[in-house]
C-alpha cells in the first residue's frame, strides 16, 4: 500500500492518498509522486489587451494571448471565475495543447499585436509544470510570459520560475492574516511572492476591495506602506467588488473606493481604480 504523498507546491501542503486530488483540483498523488492532471488542459483562450490583466505599464497598447485552465488553491467566496476555479472539471470544455502548440498559437497572433502569453483566468501556478515548460520555450522565441496569480506558491518553485516570467499581476486579496485564512490562503506567502518577483520582473498588484474583507482604511494604509517599501513605483489597482458567487454584500461604494485610493496615493506613485465608470 502506497504511503500518502505531500504536495509541496503551495502553502497548503496537501497530504494525498494514492489517487487523491489536492484541494486545488489540479494535482494528484500517483505512484508516490504528485502529478499535474491539468497539464496542457485549457478551458479559456482569448487575445486580450494587456491592460485587461490589468497591466498598465508593461507594453501598453499591446495585446496578449490569454490562457486559462481549471482549479485554484484559494477559496474566495466572491470569485468572478468560479466556474473554472472551483467547478467540476469533468463538466468543463477542455482543449488539450502541448507547450509547443501554445507557442505556435502565440506566434500566429503577432500580426494582431500579440507580445506573448498570459496565464490567467483561474490560478495558473497550480499548473506549475506546464507554465514552466511553456515559459522556457517562449523565451527562445522572443515571446513575453505574463502571470496573473494569487501568489500562493512556495519559494523553491517560485525561484525556479522567476527567470522565465517577464511580468506579474499579483492579487493581494487583503492585508491581514485573519482575512487570508478566511479566503483559504497564506498571507505571508503572497507578500514574499511580491517581493521576489518585483526584484527581477515587472510587477503590478491588484486588490479587489470587498466589503468586510479588504475595505478597511487602516489595512489599505499598511498595504500601501508595504508596497512602497518594495518600490513606490509598483502600480496598485484597486478594483471595485460586485456581488458574485457566494458573496452577496452590496457592491463597494464609489466613495469608499476613492477614499482608499487617496490613502494609497500617500505612499505609492501609481494607483488606479478599476470596475468604475467614473
CB atoms within 10 A of CB 3: 10
User: Whose CA is closest to 198, among 151, 157, 234, 160?
Assistant: 234
Q: Is the pLDDT of residue 201 over 70?
A: yes
Do the domain assignments include residue 3?
no
Residues 241-267: what's their mean pLDDT?
97
Region of 145 on the Ramachandran plot (φ > 0 left; ψ -120 to 50 alpha; else beta): beta
pLDDT band at 1 (very low <50, low <70, confident <90, very high): low
Cell reading at 260: 482608499
Do the domain assignments include residue 183?
yes
Q: Is the pLDDT of residue 99 over 80?
A: yes
- pLDDT tens, 121-145? 999 999 999 999 999 999 999 999 9
- pLDDT tens, 231-240? 999 999 999 9
Q: Is the pLDDT of residue 87 over 90?
A: no
Do the domain assignments include residue 34?
no
pLDDT band at 10 (very low <50, low <70, confident <90, very high): very high
Do the domain assignments include residue 92?
yes
pLDDT for position 2: 75
Do the domain assignments include residue 236?
yes
Do the domain assignments include residue 137?
yes
- Mode of pairing for the β-strands spanning 33-36 and 236-240: unpaired
DSSP string covering 219-259, please?
Answer: HHHHHHHHHHHH-TT--EEEEEP--BTTB-SPPPPHHHHHH
**Cα distance from N-terminal residue to C-terminal residue, the chain:** 61
CA 8 to chain CA centroid, nearest Å: 18
Whether the CB-CB separation of 203 and 170 falls below 8 Å is answered with yes
Q: Which domain holds residue 173?
A: 39-274
Cell reading at 222: 499598511
Residue 205: φ, ψ to 5°? -120, 140
Identify the bridge partners of residue 209 per DSSP, sorted by sequence position. 240
Do the domain assignments include residue 16?
no
Q: At what angle do helices 128-140 and 99-108 cross, to 10 degrees?
A: 50
Do the domain assignments include residue 26?
no
Q: What is the CATH number of the domain that holds 253?
A: 3.20.20.70
CA distance readout (Å), 167 to 74, 203, 259, 276: 22, 6, 28, 25
Domain total of the chain: 1
- Mode of pairing for the β-strands spanning 63-68 and 167-171: unpaired
Q: Is the pLDDT of residue 278 over 90?
A: no
pLDDT for position 86: 82
Amino acid at each position: 500500500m502506497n504511503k500518502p504523498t505531500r504536495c509541496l507546491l503551495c502553502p497548503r501542503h496537501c497530504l494525498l492518498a494514492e489517487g487523491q486530488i489536492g484541494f486545488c483540483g489540479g494535482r494528484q498523488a500517483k505512484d508516490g509522486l504528485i502529478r499535474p492532471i491539468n497539464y496542457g488542459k485549457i478551458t479559456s483562450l482569448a487575445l486580450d489587451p494587456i491592460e485587461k490583466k490589468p497591466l498598465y505599464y508593461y507594453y501598453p497598447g499591446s495585446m496578449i494571448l490569454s490562457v486559462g485552465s481549471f482549479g485554484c488553491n484559494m477559496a474566495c467566496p466572491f470569485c468572478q471565475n468560479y466556474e473554472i476555479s472551483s467547478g467540476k472539471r469533468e463538466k468543463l470544455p477542455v482543449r488539450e495543447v502541448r507547450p509547443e502548440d501554445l507557442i505556435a498559437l502565440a506566434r500566429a497572433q503577432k500580426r494582431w499585436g500579440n507580445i506573448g502569453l498570459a496565464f490567467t483566468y483561474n490560478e495558473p501556478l497550480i499548473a506549475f509544470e506546464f507554465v514552466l515548460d511553456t515559459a522556457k520555450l517562449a523565451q527562445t522565441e522572443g515571446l513575453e510570459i505574463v502571470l496573473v496569480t494569487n501568489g500562493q506558491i512556495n519559494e523553491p518553485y517560485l525561484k525556479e520560475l522567476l527567470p522565465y516570467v517577464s511580468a506579474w499581476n499579483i492579487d493581494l486579496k487583503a492585508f491581514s492574516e485573519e482575512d487570508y485564512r478566511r479566503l483559504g490562503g497564506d498571507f505571508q506567502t503572497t507578500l514574499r511572492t511580491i517581493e521576489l518577483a518585483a526584484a527581477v520582473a515587472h510587477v503590478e498588484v491588484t486588490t479587489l476591495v470587498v466589503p468586510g474583507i479588504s475595505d478597511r482604511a487602516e489595512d489599505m494604509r499598511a498595504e500601501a506602506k508595504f508596497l512602497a517599501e518594495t518600490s513606490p513605483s509598483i502600480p496598485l489597482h484597486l478594483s471595485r467588488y460586485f456581488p458574485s458567487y457566494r458573496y452577496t454584500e452590496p457592491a463597494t461604494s464609489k466613495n469608499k473606493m476613492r477614499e482608499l485610493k487617496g490613502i494609497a496615493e500617500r505612499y505609492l506613485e501609481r494607483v488606479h481604480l478599476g470596475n468604475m465608470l467614473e
